[in-house]
Structure 1
């Protein structure tokens, strides 16, 4: 009896989540194609980090060694007042021994290029913005901005916070009266952020660049709604991220004023932050943000708005959402990209299990897979949205209570911070259709749903039951 073919997956968006899902589907033998709205991806962005939550998957995909080539391990998080007086530090040096991995910091465009090398170029189409979606029992069809149509069995919206895919399915649900009221509302606005990464700098002028680990420094403004983070990166570079916290009304005004995103607006913000001090440079010669800005290509300094929202509806029919399209987080906890990749892992696991060929991939089977994906991911995504909110208060809050909490947190005993970090490191979903990475002894790991298909295949191959170390 011939096997039924696996579903063809259309992925809207070639961001980190979309690329990571493509890499996983490639491993699973599930056909896919990515449609990216831009004509090319610009090398914008500053530093980003990933940790033990997702790094076991990098081991599974043989990506970890390549990541380490473009990254620095981060062993300490330092916090300073605007006066450059040290508030405290969080020591992460013992984290690898207990969690299995360092936290790695790298230049976001370098990481993007690494993922891009793992996706066959013929499976990505650029300048293809999804503008219309039609789905029925037979399949799903998308129309792109160049008036082309493309057909598949499943559509994945990995197209960001203002996802066109989400807007299309929500429009359909609204007509049917099935969209939750909370999903119909807008984002919660909070921060304006400017980011960039310098060209190579002189290590004699910035001695910390001589080290083979990341210097991660957060600076808290005095009587101002600003905080700024600087991190040293491979190839003698320093990235900078400046966040300005806005009150609710000001945030709404910024969100809808196009003038705020012009080059003139960039210049205005640069003027405002230019003389903010940074804890870098030779002893007694501390620098200012302006030194880093002047060493950065102007076209690679970007200003972005940081919104947040956890959506309740993650799927409808043959369409499912991942990453920012489903849950947009503040960047304070550094979990946005990690959660998009975790989405991709769980969704790929669920799609793998319905793609074995023993039965046709029906709409009912697709819905079951989507429901399983959301059930596995929703609670953790909710936790990280809320955790990011709390981290934003911790790093940017100017109330006396927030300043006190900030000082306490950055001066807690090392064993307490290790306990907190290790508890979070226990959520580490793996690819269930690949050999799993053993977890460190003594680490309380959140149990993961095994792949019935993979277990059956391994049993048939090896002639005995397979037990997973999870």
Structure 2
């Protein structure tokens, strides 16, 4: 049996590794001509690192990243509003939360796969049903016969459009800038993620390796913000702590990437016959919980376990049963957090901040537990 995976993102590569470790042959088709690291970081939360521990990748990832033991919400001046202590989960699950360059992580995953697994310059143009399965037609004119297909091709998945043409992408009316800069952070920030909330905007930063910082900035869009992508980012954050302005000014502008934020309206079905969606193709979410890639990593491990035990179409049903409820809940929660974070009314902002400051630490811990706990890990292993 061979599983054909469309998309060499974090989820698709993790799935390929898990399947190859089980002795199941895979082929991963990626539209890019080469794998180039873009200027973005990623936080591999506790749930993602639990999976990478199972796959034997924890040590390699820890060696190239930076451990994070606290996730904080602050005011624009970096005065704390809410603190999420991660040390409890580090002790409970025996893994740390790791901030790492996305390109570095991608290369770690690629290096774990046989050279023949990854096919670059394969942008899928069309999928057709055949008597024996499916025909995949790529932009490079190559045509592949496939029997079992996993769509890991992101929020704009061509395969999802083929299976579920009525699926809906929702714009959040927010823009996100991302950058990486060589910067010596004050020591107190080096093992924390801090996200500063201001009026209609946010700014987050985290160290991803020694003297290298990943930052992201979000701003609510108005109807007339057609040129916001080209605007001076620093101008939107001039009232923030000087550290924020220093991070922006120290970054090469040519390496700052921007994109409008969107998610996928939660779906009730991810598969049909021998085709299954995973990751952003199935449940793309806004980045407000930092769980997009982490949920794709959860998908990869559980989907591989199901494929290893069941006939493919049954495996896809089992996978959906195990993962759909949690993934869709994270999508909905992330969307709600984004709306709360971008309040613009000063009174509403004050009430929000006051409520967050008095919220017991036990509530924060319970909310994180719901995200970090992967009850199906043991179930999948037993299966």
- After TM superposition, is the score higher than 0.5? yes
Higher gyration radius (CA): 1
Name 1:124's counterpart in structure 2: 118
Name 2:192's counterpart in structure 1: 215
Shift of 1:287: 2.9
Name 1:69's counterpart in structure 2: 63
8 Å contact kept, 1:53–1:428:
no
Shift of 1:271: 5.2
Aligned to 2:233, which of 270, 280, 286? Answer: 270
Shift of 1:318: 2.1
Q: Deviations over 1:221-269 (max 9, x none)?
A: 23xx11111112212012111111236xx3xx87xx7xx6xxxx64414
Aligned equivalents of 1:347 and 1:25: distance in 2?
Answer: 9
Shift of 1:410: 4.2
Distance 1:413 1:373, change over 3 A: same
Secondary structure of residue in 1 paired with 2:359: coil
Aligned equivalents of 2:237 and 2:344: distance in 1?
Answer: 21
Is 2:98 the partner of 1:109? no
8 Å contact kept, 1:142–1:151:
yes
Is 2:20 the partner of 1:26? yes
Aligned equivalents of 1:307 and 1:163: distance in 2?
Answer: 14
8 Å contact kept, 1:397–1:403:
no
* TM-score of the two chains, using structure 2 as the length reference: 0.90
Q: Deviations over 1:295-329 (max 9, x none)?
A: 33333211012111223331123211111111110
Deviates more, 1:31-40 or 1:90-99: 90-99
Aligned equivalents of 1:240 and 1:300: distance in 2?
Answer: 12
Aligned equivalents of 2:86 and 2:381: distance in 1?
Answer: 31
Name 1:379's counterpart in structure 2: 325
Equivalent positions of 1:253-402 (< 5 A) are: 266-270=229-233, 272-273=235-236, 275=238, 277-278=240-241, 286-289=242-245, 291-309=246-264, 310-354=266-310, 365-399=311-345, 400-401=347-348
* TM-score of the two chains, using structure 1 as the length reference: 0.74
Structure 2 stretches lacking a partner, 5+ long:
none
8 Å contact kept, 1:136–1:317:
no
Name 1:461's counterpart in structure 2: none
Shift of 1:377: 1.0
Distance 1:410 1:86, change over 3 A: same
8 Å contact kept, 1:43–1:300:
no
Name 1:230's counterpart in structure 2: 205
Shift of 1:24: 0.8
Distance 1:266 1:185, change over 3 A: closer
Name 2:351's counterpart in structure 1: 404
Aligned equivalents of 2:22 and 2:239: distance in 1?
Answer: 49
Distance 1:104 1:394, change over 3 A: farther
Distance 1:92 1:170, change over 3 A: closer
Shift of 1:402: 5.2
8 Å contact kept, 2:51–2:298:
no
Aligned equivalents of 2:88 and 2:239: distance in 1?
Answer: 32
Distance 1:450 1:84, change over 3 A: closer
Aligned equivalents of 2:350 and 2:123: distance in 1?
Answer: 44
Distance 1:350 1:69, change over 3 A: same
Deviates more, 1:81-90 or 1:128-137: 81-90
8 Å contact kept, 1:11–1:35:
yes
Deviates more, 1:305-314 or 1:292-301: 292-301
Number of aligned residue pairs: 381
Aligned equivalents of 2:52 and 2:252: distance in 1?
Answer: 31
Equivalent positions of 1:425-464 (< 5 A) are: 425-430=372-377, 448-449=379-380, 452=383
Shift of 1:123: 1.3
Aligned equivalents of 2:327 and 2:267: distance in 1?
Answer: 10
Which structure has greater strand proportion? 2
Aligned equivalents of 1:386 and 1:327: distance in 2?
Answer: 10
Name 2:218's counterpart in structure 1: 243
Aligned equivalents of 2:19 and 2:47: distance in 1?
Answer: 20
Aligned equivalents of 1:208 and 1:101: distance in 2?
Answer: 22
Aligned equivalents of 1:136 and 1:318: distance in 2?
Answer: 12
Secondary structure of residue in 1 paired with 2:308: helix
The CA RMSD over aligned residues, in Å, is: 2.5
Name 2:175's counterpart in structure 1: 192
